[in-house]
């Protein structure tokens, strides 16, 4: 089979496209013929070694396709089932052996490409809004990278809840996308000080929660956007990791809360995985959440896909198609 393999950490050039042995499913695994694999920022962190993984490795934590074979102890799925998954390495390939505990069934009315675009970013938007900080009607949130994959989904979910949404983006084109997703206010951080704008828009009160996937370049100002007892949800580091912070500063700022959540923990329990994936894919099926999937790359062009993502040349979801 064909796969994308890395043998060392580094830039997109360390990813090579070529032949690799097709995996054999273990006792509790299913062999999935991948029809679409999602690309996410965490893939770039693993590729560079920011999040180290054993090498050599096939990248990709999110995929969808059809079950072609099952291990002897698999009871939850059968050959021919359409399935999707996240949090299992190896999706940048024609085939992946995935433990049944990671798989979810794709409901009727949802395509495999939609399912692949739903698992990591969709479940992330779900846990952020329904668990890490459970948004309520009438509350106000800031969502950084409002035109990104999670940003567009989180905005729609927040609006469906009834929250007031302020997003930040880098260009007017991205601002239009964010408004299209339902954002009440959009701040062009390249032209405006987002901290000052948030304070102006909230009459100095601040917001209940900031969802920040950018990291280093937005972290301090994001904290300053919060109202008393507000929560800073740092769930990514697209601009670099936050490596120095004094927790004592949370007190004078209003007894704030700071958390660094991961999807792995919020889907570790089977019931949580099924809840989040089930909710999100039903929203997609019913038109309550619209996916933006304009960036599909052949599997062989994974390098180009990573360069586009890291260069902030994409909006919405980026998929690799074997």
Calculate the CA 233 to chain-centre distance: 14
Please tell me the predicted confidence (pLDDT) of residue 221: 95
Nearest to 32 by CA among 105, 83, 77: 83
Please tell me the predicted confidence (pLDDT) of residue 229: 98
Mean pLDDT of the chain: 95
Q: What is the pLDDT of residues 156-183, one digit of tens each?
A: 999 999 999 999 999 999 999 999 999 9
pTM over 0.85? The answer is: yes
Query: Which band of pLDDT confidence, cut at 50, 70 and 90, is reported for residue 241?
Result: confident
Q: Which domains does the chain have, with CATH numbers?
A: 2-120+268-321 (3.90.180.10), 136-260 (3.40.50.720)
Please tell me the predicted confidence (pLDDT) of residue 215: 82
Strands (E), the chain: 2-6, 15-19, 29-39, 57-58, 62-70, 82-86, 95-99, 103-105, 140-143, 164-169, 185-188, 207-212, 226-234, 257-259, 295-298, 318-321
Instruction: Label residue 31 exposed, middle or buried (CB < 10 Å: 0-12, 13-18, 19+).
Output: buried
Residue 216 confidence (pLDDT) above 90? no
Residue 197 confidence (pLDDT) above 90? yes
Report helix, strand or coil for 26: coil
Residue 238 confidence (pLDDT) above 80? no
Q: List, edge to edge, every strand of the sheet that includes 15-19.
A: 15-19, 2-6, 57-58
Please tell me the predicted confidence (pLDDT) of residue 281: 97
Residue 236 confidence (pLDDT) above 90? no
User: How far is residue 307 from each of residues 12, 248, 304, 310, measured CA to CA in Å?
Assistant: 7, 38, 5, 5
Please state, for a pLDDT cut of 90, what percent of the chain lies above it: 89
Q: What is the pLDDT of residues 33-88, one digit of tens each?
A: 999 999 998 999 999 998 999 999 999 999 999 999 999 999 999 999 999 999 99
Tokens of 261: 């959540």
Report helix, strand or coil for 137: coil
Residue 282 confidence (pLDDT) above 80? yes
Please state, for a pLDDT cut of 70, what percent of the chain lies above it: 100
């Amino acid at each position: 089979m064909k796969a994308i393999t890395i043998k060392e950490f580094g830039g997109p050039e360390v990813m090579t496209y070529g032949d690799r042995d097709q995996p054999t499913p273990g006792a509790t695994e299913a062999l999935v013929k991948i029809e679409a694999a999602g690309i996410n920022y965490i893939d770039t962190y693993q590729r560079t070694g920011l999040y180290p993984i054993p090498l050599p490795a096939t990248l990709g934590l999110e995929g969808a396709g059809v079950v072609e074979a099952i291990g002897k102890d698999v009871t939850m799925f059968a050959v021919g089932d359409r399935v999707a998954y996240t949090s299992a390495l190896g999706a940048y390939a024609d085939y992946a052996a995935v433990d049944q505990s990671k798989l979810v069934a794709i409901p009727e009315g949802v395509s495999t490409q939609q399912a692949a675009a739903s698992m990591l970013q969709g479940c992330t938007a779900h846990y952020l809004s329904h668990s890490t900080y459970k948004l309520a009607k009438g509350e106000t949130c800031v969502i950084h990278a409002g035109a990104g994959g999670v940003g567009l989904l989180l905005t729609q979910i927040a609006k469906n809840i009834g929250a007031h949404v302020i997003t930040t983006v880098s260009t007017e084109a991205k601002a239009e996308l964010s408004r299209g997703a339902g954002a009440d206010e959009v701040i062009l951080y390249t032209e405006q000080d987002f901290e000052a704008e948030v304070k102006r828009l909230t009459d100095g009160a601040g917001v209940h929660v900031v969802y920040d996937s950018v990291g280093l370049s937005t972290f301090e100002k994001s904290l300053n956007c919060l109202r008393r007892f507000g929560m800073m949800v740092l769930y990514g580091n697209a601009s670099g990791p936050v490596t120095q912070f004094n927790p004592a500063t949370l007190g004078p700022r209003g007894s704030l809360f700071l958390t660094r959540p991961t999807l792995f923990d919020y889907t570790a329990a089977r019931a949580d995985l099924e809840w989040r994936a089930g909710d999100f894919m039903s929203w997609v099926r019913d038109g309550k959440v619209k996916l933006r999937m304009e960036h599909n790359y052949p599997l062989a062009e994974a390098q180009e896909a990573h360069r586009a993502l890291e260069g902030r040349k994409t909006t919405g979801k980026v998929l690799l198609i074997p």
